[in-house]
């Protein structure tokens, strides 16, 4: 016996093993340079001029000569449209456009107005003025009419208050959900017209 000891070495995954179980990487933008998989592409150069249909390899050499990247702008076109440009600058412009679009986007909020069946006329007027302002801003308004104690026995008074709310806000809003009981309160939702 020579005293040789065999040591089990860990197996290193080969390229074949990696291709059998590919990890899905996050898709966070257009394909660039070597990631473009189409055989033929329509190429637009850095000056914005159409260079025609060519292979990805030819387009890559044009991009390398210009010192820029080849970016797939329109992947669903036939053939896909690629442009030679600075990818970092392109991503920055796309992020700026997305930020402007988010800023212009109006988020509809639900504002709540709480009433009681025995509300005074002046208080009712103030609440309706606020509700009109909310509806004019494009928000939804949730009217909540709360009952306390024995007020539940006088639901006709509550229905009269809700009818008054409808007539006041009919000009600026429409009823999205009809009045419904939720425990000891009646809830009605109005949306802007």
Average of per-residue pLDDT across 158-164: 88
Tokens of 67: 């010192």
Q: Are residues 187 and 167 in the same domain?
A: yes
Q: CA 92, 95, 97 angle in degrees (round to 5)?
A: 110
Q: Does 10 score more than 70 pLDDT?
A: no
Read off the CATH number of the domain in which 154 is found: 3.30.110.10
Q: Residue 181 is part of which domain span?
A: 110-192
Q: Are residues 95 and 114 in the same domain?
A: no
Going by C-beta distance under 8 Å and a sequence separation of 6 or more, which residues neighbour residue 11?
A: none
Total domains present in the chain: 2
Average of per-residue pLDDT across 178-192: 88
pTM above threshold 0.75:
no
Asked, for residue 15, whether it belongs to a domain, the answer is no
pLDDT digits (tens, 9 = 90+) for 107-145: 778 889 999 988 899 999 999 999 999 988 888 999 999
Output the pLDDT for position 122.
Answer: 94
Q: Does 5 score more than 80 pLDDT?
A: no
Q: Are residues 58 and 99 in the same domain?
A: yes
Average of per-residue pLDDT across 80-100: 88
């Amino acid at each position: 016996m020579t005293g040789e000891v065999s040591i089990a070495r860990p197996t290193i995954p080969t390229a074949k093993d990696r291709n059998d179980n590919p990890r899905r990487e996050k898709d966070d933008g257009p394909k660039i340079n070597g990631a473009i998989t189409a055989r033929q592409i329509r190429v637009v150069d850095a000056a914005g001029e159409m260079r025609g249909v060519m292979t990805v390899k030819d387009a890559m050499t044009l991009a390398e000569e210009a010192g820029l990247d080849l970016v797939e702008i329109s992947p669903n076109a036939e053939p896909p449209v690629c442009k030679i440009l600075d990818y970092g600058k392109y991503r920055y412009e796309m992020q700026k456009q997305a930020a402007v679009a988010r800023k212009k986007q109006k988020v509809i909020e639900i504002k709540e107005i709480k009433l009681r069946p025995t509300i005074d006329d002046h208080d009712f007027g103030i609440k309706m003025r606020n509700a009109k302002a909310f509806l004019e801003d494009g928000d939804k308004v949730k009217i909540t009419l709360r009952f306390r104690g024995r007020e539940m026995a006088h639901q006709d008074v509550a229905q009269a208050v809700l009818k008054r709310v409808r007539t006041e806000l009919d000009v600026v809003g429409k009823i999205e959900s009809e009045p419904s009981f939720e425990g000891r309160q009646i809830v009605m939702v109005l949306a802007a017209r």
